[in-house]
Amino acid sequence: MSTATPAYVAIGANLGDAQATVRRAMDDLAALPRTRVAARSSLYRSAPFEAQGPDFINAVVELRTSLDPLALLAELQRLEAEAGRERPYRNAPRTLDLDLLRHGDATMRSPVLTLPHPRMGERAFVLLPLAEIAPALVTPDQLAQVAGQHIERL
């Protein structure tokens, strides 16, 4: 992969064995075509944010990929579907949630994908694991804004 781009994916689950699901998703991401996992955060437990249901298990991975953003998004959605992801309503509990946070320096706004992810700066469950593996991408001000959200590193 001579032209591999760094991409960051947030992983979350709160149904079934969420820890096992998140770990399996990390392995599944490593198996994507023209992609490798460059870094994996610790697992974190957080209360649902703007949602109901059990606590979430979250993590962030850094990928190096030569897939373009929409091709990577399609692969993420395929992995979600294979894990039994259903979307009965916004922020429903989920077996697996994979959010493309960043794809290099790409910026885009389309009906299917906005980059960088428009709400990542509002969510401790994204910012803390992202800061663990890519501290230059998270500012102290961003961390201060989410300081009131309960999250624990496992």
Q: Is pLDDT at 1 greater than 60 in this prediction?
A: no
Strand partners, 39: 62
- 64 catalytic? Reply is no
- 97 catalytic? Reply is yes
The one catalytic residue among 45, 97, 102, 123: 97
Structure confidence at residue 39 (pLDDT): 98
Model pLDDT for residues 4-35, shown as the tens digit of each residue: 999 999 999 998 899 999 999 999 999 999 99
Q: Is pLDDT at 122 greater than 70 in this prediction?
A: yes
The one catalytic residue among 85, 87, 109, 119: 85
Residue ranges covered by each domain of the chain? 5-153
User: Whose CA is closest to 42, among 69, 22, 18?
Assistant: 22
Alpha helices in the chain (DSSP H): 18-30, 69-82, 124-133, 140-145
Structure confidence at residue 2 (pLDDT): 53
Beta strands (DSSP E) in the chain are 5-13, 35-40, 44-46, 56-65, 97-103, 108-109, 114-115, 151-153
Q: Is pLDDT at 134 greater than 80 in this prediction?
A: yes
Model pLDDT for residues 91-101, shown as the tens digit of each residue: 555 789 999 99
The one catalytic residue among 28, 40, 45, 94: 94
- 68 catalytic? Reply is no
Q: Is pLDDT at 49 greater than 90 in this prediction?
A: no
Structure confidence at residue 89 (pLDDT): 55
Determine contact, residues 70/87, Cβ cutoff 8 Å.
no
DSSP classification of residue 135: G
Mean of pLDDT over the chain: 91
- 85 catalytic? Reply is yes
C-alpha–C-alpha distance, residues 4 and 145, integer Å:
32
DSSP classification of residue 96: -
CATH superfamily of 5-153: 7,8-Dihydro-6-hydroxymethylpterin-pyrophosphokinase HPPK (3.30.70.560)
> What average pLDDT score do residues 124-131 get?
97
The one catalytic residue among 99, 102, 119, 123: 99
Distances (CA, A) of 7 to 66, 80, 94: 10, 18, 23
